[in-house]
Amino acid sequence: MTGTHAFGATEPPPALLARPKSAARHLYDLVGAPLRLALLPDAGSESLGLTSLRAERMAAVLVELRGRVLDVGAGDNLLVRLYRREAVRLRLDPVDAAASVGVDVHDWGGGCVIVRSSAALPFGDGVFDTVCFVACLNHIPERAAAVREAARLLRPGGRVVATMIGRVVGVVGHKLWWYSEDKQREMHHEEKWGLDEREMLELFESADLAVEKIDSFVYGLNKLYVARRR
């Protein structure tokens, strides 16, 4: 599996990542909601100046990044690329951004390290400050082992930052998102369309991670989770 076609070759421009959104941007995004939530791929929304779904989740996660980051299920490595691009504006450390890395089992381009499984990753204990799972835990068949692996890779006090849609939003969304990456590959029987909050909390608990924050974004359709290694 190679190529960026499922993700789009461009990056969301800084204006679409700025938070909080201005009143004008809120209004424009609301008027354009049918286009950006269902009809257009991310790059198409962005070309109309609308905040894409990928820009929404990247903006939610970028402000939570601390130190050296591992992004699991990184797709085209957009988060790490944006971390490097936006580090100065967000007052994050460019050296940490440069040392950050994305991993995925498929090669979508963008410079990820390609791995066989997220249950056993090629890094030492406690070497990351933040481990991210952005829109991917539902797609990772070995998700419980992957979250435990994240806990191993985090320094004490380090944090997991994850986004996830619920099951109902996931079933409806994946019918609408004709461009999503799962259409470009075979689905594993253990993949889910989304994970509910209860399932996410069980995953963190089974890895002995303490949940610190749960926020919603995209009109409550998506959730951000932050959990700390004790």
Ligand X SMILES: C[S@@+](CC[C@H](N)C(=O)[O-])C[C@H]1O[C@@H](n2cnc3c(N)ncnc32)[C@H](O)[C@@H]1O
Minimal CB distance residue for ligand X: 75
CB of 14 to ligand X, least distance (A): 18
Query: Is there binding between residue 54 and ligand X (CB under 6 A)?
Result: yes
Between 132 and 209, name the residue whose CB sits nearer to ligand X: 132
Q: How far apart are CA 108 and CA 86, in angstroms?
A: 22
Binding string, residues 72-111; x marks residues near ligand X by CB under 6 A: xxxx--x-------------------------xxx-x---
Q: Does 134 bind ligand X (CB under 6 A)?
A: yes
CA distance 108 to 112: 8
* Choices 19-27, 84-92, 137-145, 150-158 (CB under 6 A): range interacting with ligand X: 137-145
Collect all residues with Cβ–Cβ distance below 8 Å to 16 and sequence separation of at least 6.
46, 49, 51, 52, 55, 59
The residue within the footprint of ligand X, chosen from 92, 140, 195, 200 (CB under 6 A), is 140
Q: What angle do CA 106, 209, 53 make, to 5 degrees?
A: 45
Q: Which is nearer to ligand X, 41 or 141 (CB)?
A: 141
From residue 180 to residue 199, the character string flagging contacts with ligand X as x (rule: CB under 6 A) and all else as - is -x------------------
Separation of alpha carbons 165 and 167, rounded Å: 7
The correct pick among 51, 52, 118, 222 for binding ligand X (CB under 6 A) is 118
Binding flag, residue 148, ligand X (CB under 6 A): no
- Listing DSSP states for 149-199 in one string gives HHHHHEEEEEEEEEEEE-HHHHHHHHHH-TT-GGGGSPPPTT--S---HHH
Interacting residue with ligand X among 36, 68, 81, 139 (CB under 6 A): 139
- Is 161 near ligand X (CB under 6 A)? no
In the complex, what is the shortest distance from the CB of residue 24 to ligand X, in angstroms, rounded to a whole number?
Answer: 26
65 is an interface residue for ligand X by CB under 6 A: no
DSSP 3-state assignment of 121?
coil
CA nearest 146: which of 95, 206, 196, 56?
A: 206
Q: Is residue 20 reached through a cis peptide bond, with omega within 30 degrees of 0 on the bond before it?
A: yes
- Answer yes or no: are the C-beta atoms of 131 and 102 closer than 8 Å: no
Beta carbons within 8 Å of 206's beta carbon, 6+ residues apart: 144, 147, 148
Report the interface residues with ligand X, using CB under 6 A.
Answer: 54, 57, 72-75, 78, 104-106, 108, 117-118, 134-136, 139-142, 181
